[in-house]
Amino acid sequence: MLRYLTAGESHGKFLTGILDGFPAGVKIDAACVARLLERRRLAPGRSARQKTESDAVEITGGVCKGLTTGAPIALLISNAAGRPGHADPWIVKPGHADLAGSLKYNVPPALIRERASARETAMRTALGAFPLRLLELLGIYIISRVTLLGRAADISRAGSSGPKAVAAMLAEINKARREGRTLGGIFEIYACGVPAGLGSHAQADRRLSARLAAAMFSINSVKGVEIGGGFCLAMEHTENTVDFPEMGLGGAVFRTNRAGGIEGGITNGSQLVINCALKPPPAFAGPVPSFNLKTGKKAAFRPVRHDTAAVPAAAVVAEAAAAFEIANALLEKFGGDSFGEIQPRVDAWRRRTKKILRGA
Ligand SMILES: Cc1cc2nc3c(=O)[nH]c(=O)nc-3n(C[C@H](O)[C@H](O)[C@H](O)COP(=O)(O)O)c2cc1C
Protein backbone atom coordinates (compact mmCIF):
# COMPACT_ATOMS: atom_id res chain seq x y z
CA MET A 1 0.00 0.00 0.00
CA LEU A 2 1.25 3.45 -0.92
CA ARG A 3 0.81 6.23 1.60
CA TYR A 4 2.28 9.66 2.13
CA LEU A 5 2.50 12.44 4.68
CA THR A 6 3.64 16.03 4.34
CA ALA A 7 4.60 18.58 6.99
CA GLY A 8 5.66 22.20 7.03
CA GLU A 9 4.15 25.68 6.84
CA SER A 10 3.99 28.10 3.95
CA HIS A 11 6.70 30.31 5.44
CA GLY A 12 8.43 27.74 7.63
CA LYS A 13 11.99 26.60 7.02
CA PHE A 14 11.19 23.44 5.04
CA LEU A 15 8.43 21.34 3.54
CA THR A 16 8.95 17.69 4.43
CA GLY A 17 7.44 14.65 2.74
CA ILE A 18 7.51 10.89 3.15
CA LEU A 19 6.21 8.35 0.63
CA ASP A 20 5.94 4.84 2.03
CA GLY A 21 5.30 1.56 0.22
CA PHE A 22 6.96 2.57 -3.04
CA PRO A 23 8.63 -0.34 -4.87
CA ALA A 24 12.37 -0.76 -5.32
CA GLY A 25 14.20 -0.60 -8.64
CA VAL A 26 12.40 2.41 -10.14
CA LYS A 27 14.85 4.60 -12.01
CA ILE A 28 14.43 8.22 -10.89
CA ASP A 29 16.61 11.15 -9.89
CA ALA A 30 16.22 14.61 -8.37
CA ALA A 31 16.08 16.19 -11.85
CA CYS A 32 12.89 14.23 -12.60
CA VAL A 33 11.25 15.58 -9.42
CA ALA A 34 12.59 19.09 -10.15
CA ARG A 35 11.04 19.15 -13.65
CA LEU A 36 7.56 18.49 -12.23
CA LEU A 37 8.03 21.09 -9.49
CA GLU A 38 9.18 23.61 -12.09
CA ARG A 39 5.97 23.12 -14.07
CA ARG A 40 3.94 23.86 -10.92
CA ARG A 41 6.07 26.84 -9.87
CA LEU A 42 6.20 28.52 -13.29
CA ALA A 43 2.58 27.85 -14.29
CA PRO A 44 0.83 31.00 -15.56
CA GLY A 45 -0.95 33.12 -12.97
CA ARG A 46 1.42 32.70 -10.02
CA SER A 47 2.46 35.51 -7.68
CA ALA A 48 5.87 37.15 -7.35
CA ARG A 49 6.67 34.62 -4.60
CA GLN A 50 7.50 32.03 -7.24
CA LYS A 51 10.48 34.16 -8.31
CA THR A 52 11.83 33.95 -4.75
CA GLU A 53 11.35 30.19 -4.40
CA SER A 54 13.64 27.80 -6.25
CA ASP A 55 11.77 24.68 -5.02
CA ALA A 56 15.13 22.89 -4.91
CA VAL A 57 14.33 19.40 -3.69
CA GLU A 58 16.62 17.18 -1.67
CA ILE A 59 16.04 13.42 -1.64
CA THR A 60 17.10 12.36 1.86
CA GLY A 61 15.94 8.75 1.84
CA GLY A 62 14.75 5.85 -0.28
CA VAL A 63 16.85 6.43 -3.41
CA CYS A 64 20.38 5.18 -4.04
CA LYS A 65 22.36 5.79 -7.23
CA GLY A 66 19.25 6.81 -9.16
CA LEU A 67 17.15 3.78 -8.15
CA THR A 68 14.48 3.53 -5.45
CA THR A 69 15.41 1.06 -2.70
CA GLY A 70 11.97 0.12 -1.31
CA ALA A 71 12.67 2.15 1.85
CA PRO A 72 10.43 5.17 2.61
CA ILE A 73 11.21 8.03 0.25
CA ALA A 74 12.00 11.24 2.15
CA LEU A 75 12.07 14.68 0.55
CA LEU A 76 12.93 18.20 1.69
CA ILE A 77 12.08 21.47 -0.03
CA SER A 78 13.39 24.71 1.50
CA ASN A 79 11.17 27.77 1.66
CA ALA A 80 12.92 30.97 0.66
CA ALA A 81 10.08 33.48 1.10
CA GLY A 82 9.94 35.26 4.44
CA ARG A 83 6.75 35.47 6.45
CA PRO A 84 4.65 38.41 5.21
CA GLY A 85 3.94 40.96 7.94
CA HIS A 86 0.47 40.29 9.38
CA ALA A 87 -0.93 43.47 10.91
CA ASP A 88 -2.90 41.36 13.36
CA PRO A 89 -2.80 37.55 13.21
CA TRP A 90 -6.37 37.35 14.57
CA ILE A 91 -8.00 39.08 11.58
CA VAL A 92 -9.85 36.49 9.49
CA LYS A 93 -9.11 36.22 5.76
CA PRO A 94 -12.54 35.68 4.15
CA GLY A 95 -12.75 32.69 1.81
CA HIS A 96 -9.70 30.91 3.25
CA ALA A 97 -9.45 28.25 5.96
CA ASP A 98 -9.04 30.91 8.69
CA LEU A 99 -12.40 30.92 10.42
CA ALA A 100 -13.11 27.17 10.37
CA GLY A 101 -9.51 26.35 11.33
CA SER A 102 -9.34 28.86 14.18
CA LEU A 103 -12.65 27.68 15.63
CA LYS A 104 -11.36 24.12 15.51
CA TYR A 105 -7.79 24.59 16.81
CA ASN A 106 -8.11 27.81 18.83
CA VAL A 107 -5.04 29.36 17.22
CA PRO A 108 -4.83 32.63 15.27
CA PRO A 109 -6.20 32.60 11.71
CA ALA A 110 -2.79 33.60 10.34
CA LEU A 111 -1.36 30.35 11.73
CA ILE A 112 -4.12 28.25 10.18
CA ARG A 113 -3.41 29.90 6.82
CA GLU A 114 0.25 28.93 7.08
CA ARG A 115 -0.65 25.23 6.79
CA ALA A 116 -3.85 25.57 4.70
CA SER A 117 -1.86 27.46 2.06
CA ALA A 118 -1.33 25.74 -1.29
CA ARG A 119 2.43 25.96 -0.66
CA GLU A 120 1.98 22.46 0.80
CA THR A 121 1.06 21.22 -2.68
CA ALA A 122 4.70 21.74 -3.71
CA MET A 123 5.59 18.73 -1.56
CA ARG A 124 2.61 16.71 -2.78
CA THR A 125 3.78 17.40 -6.33
CA ALA A 126 7.34 16.34 -5.51
CA LEU A 127 6.14 13.08 -3.92
CA GLY A 128 3.87 12.49 -6.91
CA ALA A 129 6.88 12.44 -9.23
CA PHE A 130 7.57 8.90 -7.95
CA PRO A 131 4.23 7.28 -8.86
CA LEU A 132 4.25 9.28 -12.11
CA ARG A 133 7.65 7.77 -12.96
CA LEU A 134 6.51 4.24 -12.01
CA LEU A 135 3.46 4.58 -14.24
CA GLU A 136 5.48 6.05 -17.09
CA LEU A 137 7.86 3.07 -16.99
CA LEU A 138 4.77 0.83 -17.27
CA GLY A 139 3.45 2.77 -20.29
CA ILE A 140 0.85 4.80 -18.36
CA TYR A 141 0.96 8.54 -19.01
CA ILE A 142 -0.89 11.30 -17.14
CA ILE A 143 -1.34 14.71 -18.72
CA SER A 144 -3.46 17.77 -17.97
CA ARG A 145 -4.71 20.90 -19.70
CA VAL A 146 -6.62 23.98 -18.65
CA THR A 147 -9.98 24.12 -20.39
CA LEU A 148 -11.51 27.19 -18.78
CA LEU A 149 -9.98 30.19 -17.04
CA GLY A 150 -12.20 32.98 -15.77
CA ARG A 151 -14.28 33.88 -18.77
CA ALA A 152 -11.63 33.35 -21.46
CA ALA A 153 -13.71 32.41 -24.47
CA ASP A 154 -10.95 30.66 -26.43
CA ILE A 155 -10.09 28.05 -23.80
CA SER A 156 -13.29 26.12 -24.31
CA ARG A 157 -13.85 22.57 -23.10
CA ALA A 158 -13.81 21.48 -26.72
CA GLY A 159 -10.84 23.69 -27.55
CA SER A 160 -7.19 22.81 -27.93
CA SER A 161 -4.26 23.47 -25.60
CA GLY A 162 -2.38 24.99 -28.55
CA PRO A 163 -0.87 28.48 -28.85
CA LYS A 164 -4.29 30.16 -29.28
CA ALA A 165 -5.57 28.72 -26.01
CA VAL A 166 -2.34 29.65 -24.16
CA ALA A 167 -2.48 33.21 -25.55
CA ALA A 168 -6.12 33.55 -24.45
CA MET A 169 -5.20 32.26 -21.00
CA LEU A 170 -2.30 34.71 -20.58
CA ALA A 171 -4.45 37.61 -21.81
CA GLU A 172 -7.16 36.73 -19.28
CA ILE A 173 -4.59 36.51 -16.46
CA ASN A 174 -3.01 39.87 -17.35
CA LYS A 175 -6.42 41.53 -17.56
CA ALA A 176 -7.46 40.12 -14.17
CA ARG A 177 -4.14 41.21 -12.63
CA ARG A 178 -4.62 44.76 -13.93
CA GLU A 179 -8.17 44.85 -12.58
CA GLY A 180 -7.14 43.36 -9.21
CA ARG A 181 -9.27 40.22 -9.66
CA THR A 182 -8.43 36.53 -9.38
CA LEU A 183 -9.62 33.74 -11.68
CA GLY A 184 -11.21 30.35 -11.22
CA GLY A 185 -11.50 27.75 -13.93
CA ILE A 186 -11.43 24.11 -14.98
CA PHE A 187 -8.64 21.70 -15.79
CA GLU A 188 -8.83 18.27 -17.31
CA ILE A 189 -6.66 15.24 -16.47
CA TYR A 190 -6.13 12.32 -18.82
CA ALA A 191 -4.48 9.02 -17.98
CA CYS A 192 -3.60 6.92 -21.04
CA GLY A 193 -2.50 3.29 -21.06
CA VAL A 194 -4.19 2.41 -17.75
CA PRO A 195 -4.84 -1.35 -17.72
CA ALA A 196 -8.41 -2.56 -17.19
CA GLY A 197 -9.22 -3.94 -13.75
CA LEU A 198 -7.81 -1.36 -11.31
CA GLY A 199 -10.12 -0.54 -8.38
CA SER A 200 -13.16 -2.58 -7.46
CA HIS A 201 -16.94 -2.39 -7.26
CA ALA A 202 -16.86 -4.77 -4.27
CA GLN A 203 -16.48 -2.18 -1.48
CA ALA A 204 -17.18 1.56 -1.42
CA ASP A 205 -13.63 2.44 -0.42
CA ARG A 206 -12.11 0.33 -3.20
CA ARG A 207 -13.87 2.21 -6.01
CA LEU A 208 -11.12 3.99 -7.94
CA SER A 209 -13.58 6.69 -9.02
CA ALA A 210 -14.20 7.53 -5.34
CA ARG A 211 -10.50 7.56 -4.55
CA LEU A 212 -9.67 9.76 -7.53
CA ALA A 213 -12.48 12.19 -6.65
CA ALA A 214 -11.24 12.40 -3.05
CA ALA A 215 -7.70 13.03 -4.29
CA MET A 216 -8.92 15.84 -6.54
CA PHE A 217 -11.04 17.38 -3.77
CA SER A 218 -7.97 17.34 -1.53
CA ILE A 219 -6.42 20.02 -3.74
CA ASN A 220 -7.01 23.52 -2.40
CA SER A 221 -9.84 25.44 -4.08
CA VAL A 222 -11.25 22.44 -5.99
CA LYS A 223 -15.03 22.74 -5.71
CA GLY A 224 -16.23 20.27 -8.34
CA VAL A 225 -14.99 17.01 -9.85
CA GLU A 226 -16.40 15.14 -12.84
CA ILE A 227 -15.40 11.78 -14.26
CA GLY A 228 -16.02 11.26 -17.97
CA GLY A 229 -19.20 13.00 -19.14
CA GLY A 230 -19.83 14.07 -15.52
CA PHE A 231 -22.64 16.55 -14.91
CA CYS A 232 -23.56 16.67 -18.62
CA LEU A 233 -24.67 13.01 -18.46
CA ALA A 234 -27.47 14.04 -16.11
CA MET A 235 -29.28 15.86 -18.91
CA GLU A 236 -28.70 13.36 -21.71
CA HIS A 237 -30.91 10.66 -23.19
CA THR A 238 -29.80 7.24 -21.92
CA GLU A 239 -28.36 6.11 -25.25
CA ASN A 240 -26.02 9.13 -25.18
CA THR A 241 -24.65 8.22 -21.76
CA VAL A 242 -23.49 4.66 -22.45
CA ASP A 243 -20.40 3.42 -24.33
CA PHE A 244 -21.61 0.75 -26.76
CA PRO A 245 -19.18 -1.94 -27.91
CA GLU A 246 -18.52 -2.50 -31.59
CA MET A 247 -16.81 -5.59 -32.88
CA GLY A 248 -13.48 -4.90 -34.60
CA LEU A 249 -10.67 -7.18 -35.75
CA GLY A 250 -9.07 -7.27 -32.30
CA GLY A 251 -12.41 -7.85 -30.49
CA ALA A 252 -14.70 -5.32 -28.81
CA VAL A 253 -13.85 -1.63 -29.40
CA PHE A 254 -15.45 1.49 -27.98
CA ARG A 255 -15.74 4.65 -30.06
CA THR A 256 -16.97 6.77 -27.16
CA ASN A 257 -15.69 7.25 -23.61
CA ARG A 258 -18.63 8.73 -21.76
CA ALA A 259 -17.72 6.76 -18.63
CA GLY A 260 -14.28 8.39 -18.55
CA GLY A 261 -12.51 5.05 -18.30
CA ILE A 262 -14.13 3.83 -15.06
CA GLU A 263 -17.27 1.74 -14.60
CA GLY A 264 -18.36 0.35 -11.24
CA GLY A 265 -15.25 1.93 -9.73
CA ILE A 266 -13.05 -0.26 -11.99
CA THR A 267 -10.89 0.90 -14.90
CA ASN A 268 -12.22 -0.48 -18.19
CA GLY A 269 -9.12 -0.01 -20.34
CA SER A 270 -10.20 3.32 -21.86
CA GLN A 271 -8.46 6.60 -21.12
CA LEU A 272 -9.28 8.05 -17.67
CA VAL A 273 -10.81 11.52 -17.96
CA ILE A 274 -11.32 13.78 -14.93
CA ASN A 275 -12.42 17.42 -14.86
CA CYS A 276 -11.94 19.68 -11.84
CA ALA A 277 -13.44 23.12 -11.22
CA LEU A 278 -11.61 25.60 -8.99
CA LYS A 279 -12.94 28.74 -7.36
CA PRO A 280 -10.77 31.87 -7.76
CA PRO A 281 -8.11 32.28 -5.02
CA PRO A 282 -9.78 34.24 -2.17
CA ALA A 283 -7.40 37.17 -2.62
CA PHE A 284 -8.12 40.82 -3.20
CA ALA A 285 -6.47 43.98 -4.49
CA GLY A 286 -7.33 46.07 -1.43
CA PRO A 287 -8.70 45.71 2.13
CA VAL A 288 -11.91 43.66 2.49
CA PRO A 289 -14.43 43.67 5.32
CA SER A 290 -13.83 41.07 8.02
CA PHE A 291 -13.50 40.77 11.79
CA ASN A 292 -11.00 40.13 14.55
CA LEU A 293 -11.50 36.75 16.17
CA LYS A 294 -9.79 37.85 19.42
CA THR A 295 -11.77 41.05 19.98
CA GLY A 296 -14.96 40.09 18.09
CA LYS A 297 -14.82 43.53 16.46
CA LYS A 298 -15.11 44.57 12.84
CA ALA A 299 -11.72 44.73 11.07
CA ALA A 300 -10.41 45.00 7.52
CA PHE A 301 -8.32 42.17 6.11
CA ARG A 302 -5.38 43.64 4.17
CA PRO A 303 -4.15 41.35 1.41
CA VAL A 304 -0.53 40.44 0.75
CA ARG A 305 0.92 39.03 -2.50
CA HIS A 306 -1.21 36.34 -4.10
CA ASP A 307 -1.71 34.21 -7.19
CA THR A 308 -4.03 35.62 -9.85
CA ALA A 309 -4.92 32.13 -11.09
CA ALA A 310 -4.30 28.78 -9.43
CA VAL A 311 -5.82 26.54 -12.13
CA PRO A 312 -2.68 25.96 -14.27
CA ALA A 313 -0.56 25.13 -11.19
CA ALA A 314 -3.33 23.01 -9.65
CA ALA A 315 -3.47 20.93 -12.84
CA VAL A 316 0.15 19.87 -12.23
CA VAL A 317 -0.65 19.04 -8.60
CA ALA A 318 -3.59 16.98 -9.86
CA GLU A 319 -1.37 14.97 -12.23
CA ALA A 320 0.66 13.98 -9.17
CA ALA A 321 -2.47 13.25 -7.10
CA ALA A 322 -4.01 11.10 -9.86
CA ALA A 323 -0.73 9.23 -10.31
CA PHE A 324 -0.66 8.39 -6.61
CA GLU A 325 -4.17 6.87 -6.69
CA ILE A 326 -3.63 4.97 -9.96
CA ALA A 327 -0.25 3.62 -8.80
CA ASN A 328 -1.78 2.57 -5.48
CA ALA A 329 -4.58 0.68 -7.26
CA LEU A 330 -2.04 -0.87 -9.61
CA LEU A 331 0.14 -2.07 -6.71
CA GLU A 332 -2.96 -3.48 -4.99
CA LYS A 333 -3.82 -5.51 -8.08
CA PHE A 334 -0.38 -6.67 -9.12
CA GLY A 335 1.56 -6.60 -5.85
CA GLY A 336 5.34 -6.82 -6.04
CA ASP A 337 8.07 -5.05 -4.12
CA SER A 338 10.37 -4.26 -7.02
CA PHE A 339 9.91 -2.97 -10.54
CA GLY A 340 11.33 -6.22 -11.88
CA GLU A 341 8.50 -8.11 -10.20
CA ILE A 342 5.71 -5.72 -11.18
CA GLN A 343 6.43 -5.14 -14.87
CA PRO A 344 6.01 -8.76 -16.11
CA ARG A 345 2.76 -9.08 -14.16
CA VAL A 346 1.33 -5.94 -15.77
CA ASP A 347 2.47 -7.11 -19.23
CA ALA A 348 0.91 -10.55 -18.71
CA TRP A 349 -2.36 -9.00 -17.55
CA ARG A 350 -2.48 -6.72 -20.59
CA ARG A 351 -2.00 -9.73 -22.88
CA ARG A 352 -4.72 -11.59 -21.00
CA THR A 353 -7.33 -8.79 -21.15
CA LYS A 354 -6.65 -8.38 -24.90
CA LYS A 355 -7.33 -12.08 -25.36
CA ILE A 356 -10.54 -11.91 -23.29
CA LEU A 357 -11.83 -9.05 -25.46
CA ARG A 358 -11.25 -11.24 -28.53
CA GLY A 359 -13.40 -13.92 -26.94
CA ALA A 360 -10.50 -16.24 -26.13
C1 LIG B 1 -1.90 26.15 -6.74
C2 LIG B 1 -2.75 26.99 -5.82
C3 LIG B 1 -2.35 28.28 -5.49
C4 LIG B 1 -3.14 29.07 -4.64
N5 LIG B 1 -2.73 30.34 -4.35
C6 LIG B 1 -3.45 31.11 -3.51
C7 LIG B 1 -3.03 32.44 -3.18
O8 LIG B 1 -2.01 32.93 -3.66
N9 LIG B 1 -3.79 33.14 -2.30
C10 LIG B 1 -4.94 32.63 -1.73
O11 LIG B 1 -5.58 33.30 -0.94
N12 LIG B 1 -5.36 31.39 -2.04
C13 LIG B 1 -4.65 30.62 -2.91
N14 LIG B 1 -5.09 29.35 -3.21
C15 LIG B 1 -6.34 28.87 -2.64
C16 LIG B 1 -6.25 28.52 -1.17
O17 LIG B 1 -5.17 27.66 -0.89
C18 LIG B 1 -7.58 27.88 -0.72
O19 LIG B 1 -8.64 28.66 -1.12
C20 LIG B 1 -7.59 27.74 0.77
O21 LIG B 1 -6.70 26.72 1.14
C22 LIG B 1 -8.98 27.42 1.32
O23 LIG B 1 -9.32 26.14 0.96
P24 LIG B 1 -10.58 25.80 0.05
O25 LIG B 1 -10.70 26.93 -0.95
O26 LIG B 1 -10.19 24.52 -0.62
O27 LIG B 1 -11.76 25.68 0.93
C28 LIG B 1 -4.33 28.55 -4.10
C29 LIG B 1 -4.73 27.25 -4.44
C30 LIG B 1 -3.97 26.47 -5.30
C31 LIG B 1 -4.41 25.09 -5.66
Write down the domain spans for the chain. 3-357
- For residue 17, pLDDT over 80 is answered with yes
- At residue 153 the predicted structure's pLDDT band, cuts being 50, 70 and 90, is low
Element (H, E) at 63: strand 63-64
Q: Where are the beta strands (DSSP E) in 173-240?
A: 185-192, 222-227
- For residue 55, pLDDT over 50 is answered with yes
CA nearest neighbour of 212 among 258, 276, 162? 276
pLDDT in tens, 340-354: 999 999 999 999 999
Give the per-residue pLDDT at 86: 56
CA of 13 to the centre of ligand 1 (A): 20
CA of 279 to the centre of ligand 1 (A): 9
Q: How far apart are the first and last CA of the chain?
A: 33
CATH class given for the domain over 3-357: alpha beta
Atom of ligand 1 lying closest to residue 96 CA? 22
Residues with CB under 6 A from ligand 1: 47, 96-97, 116-118, 121, 219-221, 281-283, 306-307, 310, 313-314
Residue-wise over 3-16: b if at least 16 C-beta within 10 A, else e?
Answer: ebebebbbbeeebb
Give the per-residue pLDDT at 154: 60
The residues pairing with 187 across neighbouring beta strands, listed in sequence order, are 146, 276
Q: Provide the 10 A C-beta neighbour count for residue 341.
A: 14
DSSP 233: G
- Can you give the pTM of this predicted structure? 0.96
CA of 118 to the centre of ligand 1 (A): 5
Instruction: Give the whole-angstrom CA distance, residue 303 versus residue 315.
Output: 25
Nearest CA to ligand 1 atom 24: 221
The residues pairing with 67 across neighbouring beta strands, listed in sequence order, are 27, 64
